[in-house]
Structure 1
Amino acid sequence: MAGKKLWGGRFEKSQADELFDFLSSEDAALDQKLAVYDIEGSLAHVCMLSKQKILGKEEAAEILSALLALHKKAEDGKFIVDPKLEDVHMNVETAVTAITEYGKKMHTARSRNDQVSLDTRFYMRDAINELSEGLLSLQASLSQLAAKNDCVFPSYTHFQVAQPASVSFWAHAHWQEFERDMQRLSELYSRVNHNPLGSGAVAGTTWNIDREYTSKLLGFSGATANPMDTVSSRGEMEAELLSHLVLALVHCSKIAEDIILLSNKRLIVLPDEYSTGSSMMPQKKNPDPLELIRGKASRMLGLYVMAASTIKGLPTGYQKDTQETKFSMMHGVDTALSVFSILSKILPLLKFNKANIEIELEEGYACATEFADLLAKKGVPFRKAHEISGATVKDCIAKKKYLSTLKAGDVSKLAGVSISQGELDDATSVDKTARFSKQYKIPVSSAHAAALSQRKKSLEAAHTLLLKDVKAITG
């Protein structure tokens, strides 16, 4: 019957049986992840209603006691969201009201529209922190990789051998990518970390509420500025998070692609622990997890497009469409965490075939640029030096020789300048040419590690304050 719904006063007829299956059956599983957050939001809201004397102390105490009992159940995984009650908000309110009639007053000065924004921000704060920890683990794994394998390594352009570099140089490049990923997440955290409670359905509330108080109890930096914007912007934060995760997984995909291609060149040896075999071909050692990382980067892009296209063209205010962004966001977070976890375990186990790397560099004439630079430093115009170096490479290919076999007398005569054998050897040695790249060292720690620690401490302090104020009311 319609009257059994908490919002049923407007309706004469009961809703169709399939309605709530369509509206909530899929969403209920996602709402399960929000149960603890929703209850904590209600704890802060009821404390505020008591502080503002909107609820009497006895009323608030009974509601808070009921919420604490539900909080314990939710933490133990025993509070199950029933899709027939639509969403986690109605499930919590129904459960509280079953314990105390005062539960019917809990929703005063509040809407599910600001509640869902609150729960989403709670979830996103924890997700951003967990994602940042995953990125820090990736950086640490790159640092381990570089420490174990401080050898020369080819750099590539157009996937052709470019110049001699080093494993640490390659690792440092990807370390920097993850540093930018964390910077983007940190910036997003500052936008997410605002309290939406008090925004109501769309136009706020005339109740004498205290938004700064609930902000303090819930660890927010302050309250959102405009109720209409707060409600209308559902999906925006979710899409922004996914856009950042697209880039993070593109970075992971790039690493995976490097490893796959270079293992095919036999420069990198894949770890047995994270490789698979063929059911038919006994010799195969397949990089399945690395290939799946590439695939999951594509999935992440799809999830971002789902979220962005959901909010495209919606009118101002709350629309049910935005419920779909919850799926995209949560699935995206889970996908990213799984990628970060497995890649951070693969990287330190990689081995490098130094003999094959040296052949790759020699046969790719990786020192040709340094050779041209040597001529230019001796006074040969760079464009002419470039031409001489290119012609020398062509001659070496024809004679099946390497640049490292060149004689100073021949080069001096060709270029019209005086070059010693030592100078020439330095310019055409892959080890000595790679020395420039070795000056790039992976930092001991990321600047974002301290920021992450501070964010987590702030949330813990706010939670302690919330429980203290709850206890002051419940006794």
Structure 2
Amino acid sequence: MLWGGRFSDEPDKLLLEFMSSENLAYDARLIPYDLMGNKAHSTMLCEQGILKPAEAAEILKALAKLEEEFKKGKLQLKLENEDVHLNIESLATKLTEHAKKMHTARSRNDQVAVDTRMYLRDATLASISAILSLAKTFQKISQSNLGTIMPAYTHTRVAQPITVAFYFDAQTKQLLRTVQRLEQAFSRLNQNPLGSCAGTGTSWDISRTRTAELLGFEGVQENALDAVSSRGELEAELTFALSQLMVQLSRISEDFIFYSEKGFVSLSDKYTTGSSIMPQKKNPDALEIIRSRAARVQSSLFLILTAIKNTPTGHNADSQETKFAAMNAFDTAIPSAKILEAVLSTAKFDEKKMIHELDAKFANATDLADLLVQEGTPFREAHAKVGELVKECEIANCTLSSLKGKSVHQVVDIKESVEIKKNGANQSNVSRLLKQNDSLIFKHSEFVKEKQAKLEAAEKLLETAVKKITKA
């Protein structure tokens, strides 16, 4: 045990299993980030004259060997070493005694913070990419269905006619707001906590800006106490954005479960399942699972908030739970976006059935009332008259579309009803809205490319600095 100097007894296995067995499974994901953080920290210690070049070279060579072991799938974390940090240090020490100096001017408190931020940084960019891919698919569906009529609903009852394009434009705009939230969080996430040590700073003459540069961070968390105390804050912020995303995906899933049962849309055989007893069934299992998994991400957010709410300022082991929850949230949200994209990109709409539903449910009644208002009838009187007319049509088993007259036909015809709404599902208006989406999708895609390019540049800078020390 690397910290065992003041202890007379070894930690009981029961304690290690309770503290670390689950943690190690999640920490395995942090191995590449921990190795990267160790390389950057050791490089900086050497450049600052805290490590001798020969010592740093041996440490960096040991880390390179461990990196190769990891890539081959041979690097295993052991329970007795508690976490990824002590496991890597223990393995490096077996390769060179100089690795015992690697932890100078550092604590596991800032080490786990930097590892987690690097992991979340990549996960955030991956989630933005998945959401943008879904948004692009929604754009394609919209472009292919500019004039495809469908019902809009209020209170789960047919309201008025819109188009498939208008529906998906609304969904795209909500997706892009989630992307915006994640991008804003990214700037707060991409700050370097390394060098904060236990939360009080260090007397060593380190360069936190240098480790920030080598690890691709945009800045430094200036207050050491803030750096180690703020675990859970960004995890909650990111998980909130993912919760918002999953709420939207759940609602879309509910829509298409309903639409497919009504016969408005046909879901592909590739993304539906059958019944073990009923031969005719075609079940929307993927959509149902998305709907339920939204609860999983919301639970992750609640876990993070409740895990840290009563913790005192400073580092506490409670924050371990925030790491699990945030990782689980990303694990759920990204695949959910991908499967929804697959389901909807292969769905087929039946416009005839949707128009029939709109006609049968008097979805053009409001337009008829508006026509009466245009001809001088107060709206409340027009509303009452059309309501009475709807009642008579129900008794006579006919629809408003059967009414005669040129001006009347323009508003009671379902397709015409859509086109006369210049700020609604009118095709020219929706085309304008889709162009706005295209511009935003391009802008957000460039954000991802820019951030990924900067991270890749930082990796190259780190490798160059390492080679300078190891003379490799």
TM-score, scaled to structure 2: 0.95
Give the distance between the partners of 2:70 and 2:8, measured in 1 at CA.
34
* 2:452 is the alignment partner of 1:456: yes
* Equivalent position to 1:440, from 423, 430, 435: 430
Partner residue, 2:398: 401
Match of 1:354 among 340, 351, 355: 351
Q: Which position in structure 1 is the counterpart of 2:265?
A: 268
- Alignment of 1:19 with 2:15, yes or no, is yes
Select 1:103's aligned residue among 92, 99, 102: 99
Partner of 1:238: 235
Q: Which one is further off, 104-113 or 426-435?
A: 426-435
Letter in 1 for 2:378: P
Secondary structure, aligned partner of 2:457 = helix
Q: What is the match of residue 416 of structure 1?
A: none
Task: Please report how far the alpha carbon of residue 112 of structure 1 lies from its aligned counterpart in structure 2 after TM superposition.
Answer: 0.3
Q: Which of 367, 372, 390 is 1:370 aligned to?
A: 367
Query: What displacement does 1:77 show?
Result: 2.4
Deviations 1:185-233 (A, max 9, x none): 1111111100001110111111111111111111111100211111111
Q: Name the residue aligned to 2:256.
A: 259
> Which deviates the most, 63-72 or 381-390?
381-390
**C-alpha deviation, 1:403, in angstroms:** 1.1
**TM superposition shift of 1:105:** 0.5
Residue 145 in structure 1 maps to residue 141 in structure 2: yes
Q: Distance in 1 between matches of 2:337 and 2:200?
A: 41
Q: What letter is aligned with 1:389?
A: V
Q: Is the 8 A contact 1:153 1:165 kept in 2?
A: yes
Alpha-carbon offset, residue 158 of structure 1? 0.5
- Aligned amino acid, residue 430 of structure 2: Y
Mean CA deviation greater in 320-329 or 375-384: 375-384
Tell me how far 1:422 sits from its aligned partner.
Answer: 2.2
Q: Is the 8 A contact 1:145 1:350 kept in 2?
A: no
Percentage identity across aligned positions? 44
Out of 400, 404, 422, the residue aligned to residue 406 of structure 2 is 422
Return the alpha-carbon distance in structure 2 between the equivalents of residues 77 and 176 of structure 1: 41
Superposed displacement of residue 152, structure 1: 0.5
Given that residues 149 and 352 in structure 1 are in contact (C-alpha distance below 8 angstroms), is that contact kept between their aligned partners in structure 2?
no
Distance 1:74 1:423 in 2: 74
- The Cα of 1:68 is off from its aligned counterpart by 1.4
Partner residue in 1 for 2:466: 470
Aligned to 1:126: 122
AA aligned to 1:444 is D
Q: How far apart in 2 are the matches of 1:187 and 1:382?
A: 45
Q: CA deviation at 1:17?
A: 2.4
Query: Which residue identity lines up with residue 454 of structure 2 in the other structure?
Result: S
Contiguous gaps of at least 5 residues in structure 1: 408-420
Find the partner of 1:211 among 205, 208, 211.
Answer: 208
Shift of 1:149: 3.5
Match of 1:40 in 2: 36
Contact 1:266 1:356 (C-alpha < 8 Å) held by counterparts = yes
1:57 alignment partner, one of 47, 53, 56: 53
Please list the CA deviations of residues 79-112 of structure 1 after superposition, one character each: whole Å capped at 9, or x if unmatched: 1111211110001111111111110100000000
Are 1:43 and 1:64, in contact at CA under 8 Å, matched by a contact in 2?
A: yes
Mapped partners of 2:13, 2:210: distance in 1? 41
Task: Report whether the alignment pairs 1:170 with 2:167.
Answer: yes
Alpha-carbon deviation of 1:283?
Answer: 1.0
1:320 maps to 317
Counterpart residue type for residue 196 of structure 1: P
Provide Cα deviations, 1:119-167, integer angstroms capped at 9, x if missing partner: 0000000000100111011112212322343410110100111111000
1:157 maps onto 2:154 in alignment: yes
- Aligned match of 2:110: 114
The corresponding residue for 1:417 is: none
Residue 294 of structure 1: how far off its partner (Å): 0.7
Partner Cα distance (1:313, 1:375) in 2: 62
Contact 1:373–1:385 (CA<8 Å) still a contact in 2?
yes
Moved more, 187-196 or 12-21: 12-21
How many positions carry a matched residue from both structures? 458
Q: Provide TM-score, normalisation by structure 1.
A: 0.94
Q: Are 1:380 and 2:377 matched, yes or no?
A: yes
In 2, the alpha carbon distance for the partners of 1:247 and 1:404 equals 40
Q: Which moved more, 1:14-23 or 1:335-344?
A: 14-23
